[in-house]
Amino acid sequence: MSVHDIGEGADDIISKIKLMAPTSHLRGYLICSRGIIWREVLRFLHQRERFFSALVRPLVWLFIFAAGFRNVLGVSIIPPYQTYVLYETYVTPGLVGMILLFNAMQSSLSMVYDRETGAMRTLLVSPFPRWFLLFSKLIGGVTVALLQVYVFLAIAYFWEIEPDGPPLALGLHMGEAFYGFVIPAPFNGYITVLPALVLAGLMLGAIALFMSSVIKQLENFAGVMNFVIFPMFFASSALYPLWRIKETSPILFEICKVNPFSHAVELIRFAFYGQIDTTSLIIVTGFTFAFLGAAVYAYNPSKGLIARRGGS
């Protein structure tokens, strides 16, 4: 039997397959990405311990660490705050960032695990473009992180830690009259922080996604903790304002300033009060695109690192 024994009308078939391929219409893309996000959420809901520990971690920081630090660390009035704030209030955006960070790293690790077990391959044999599959997976991870963040914020709200930015007015001004509704504090902050959470989550997810393509084998979570999560978390503005670090160590201050996690936290902090920190917005967006590009490159079948390494 010859390998070249192709039947007649191959072109004809190809054009027919093209018509029925799921990638030929936008709806197919929506179905695909909805399915990937849905799976991430389902899997998360099934792992009760993960949900629990994801929640306990920032709460321990908030209730114990922050309470103890309240009197040690005074926070002066720095934007976006307009009055003296309690340390708990200062640290909350940092802890929200921590939830996003842990979640991103955990989903990156699960991707390394998926790659080892082959679950990653079931994703990558989908006919949709690889960048789209990876991006959908990222959005799925962010969705899971958002669930955690809002549960955390709800608990913090009952602890009376809440944003008090100017009321958010949604509607139209017609001369003197205003048509629409005004959302008072703290709920305005919970709404304005959403885009910042999504963007910060995407950036951390993209970093993690890139890491998942470079990490060769499933090392234990402690390694990632020691070498990625802790340095990123502590060398940032999450726990203390950067001007305080500058007083102690100018070098550390510079490190904190280039740490993308600092900017993720600042973006969230300002968004809580209905403000946009432009520098952070630019930096976080830039990092998101850079790492997303690197990850797509790494997962690309021809140029990718997977091919070079020969893993499966």
Partner 1 sequence: MDATVETIQETKTNALEVDNVSHSFGTTQVLDNVSLCVPRGCFTVLLGPNGAGKSTLFALITRLYDNVSGEIRLLGMDVRRRPSLALSRLGVVFQSRTLDLDLSLAQNLAYHASLHGIPRAQAKTRAKFALSRVELEKRAHDKVRNLSGGQTRRVEIARSMMHEPNLLLLDEPTVGLDVAAREGVISLVRKLVRDKGLGVLWATHLIDEIEPTDNVVVLHKGKVLFSGTVPQLQEKTGETDLADAFRSMTGLSQLEME
- Count of positions on this chain that bind partner 1 (CB under 8 A): 55
Q: Does 119 bind partner 1 (CB under 8 A)?
A: yes
Minimum Å gap between C-beta 141 and partner 1 is 16
Q: Does 1 bind partner 1 (CB under 8 A)?
A: yes
- Contact between 124 and 32 under an 8 Å Cβ cutoff? The reply is no
CA gap 119, 153 in Å, rounded = 33
Minimum Å gap between C-beta 13 and partner 1 is 6
Q: Does 122 bind partner 1 (CB under 8 A)?
A: yes
Q: Does 39 bind partner 1 (CB under 8 A)?
A: yes
Q: Does 194 bind partner 1 (CB under 8 A)?
A: no
Q: Does 13 bind partner 1 (CB under 8 A)?
A: yes
Minimum Å gap between C-beta 298 and partner 1 is 12
Q: Does 118 bind partner 1 (CB under 8 A)?
A: yes
Minimum Å gap between C-beta 220 and partner 1 is 21
Binders in 292-311 for partner 1, by CB under 8 A: 301-302, 304, 306-307, 309-310
Q: Does 159 bind partner 1 (CB under 8 A)?
A: no
- Contact between 288 and 202 under an 8 Å Cβ cutoff? The reply is yes
Q: Which is nearer to partner 1, 64 or 119 (CB)?
A: 119
Q: Does 49 bind partner 1 (CB under 8 A)?
A: no
Cα torsion 240, 241, 244, 246 to 10°: value is: 120
Q: Does 174 bind partner 1 (CB under 8 A)?
A: no
Site string for partner 1, 18-37 (x = CB under 8 A): xxxxxx---xxx-xx-xxx-
CA gap 87, 267 in Å, rounded = 18
Q: Which residues bind partner 1 (CB under 8 A)?
A: 1-10, 13-14, 16-23, 27-29, 31-32, 34-36, 38-39, 42-43, 46-47, 117-119, 121-129, 133, 301-302, 304, 306-307, 309-310, 312
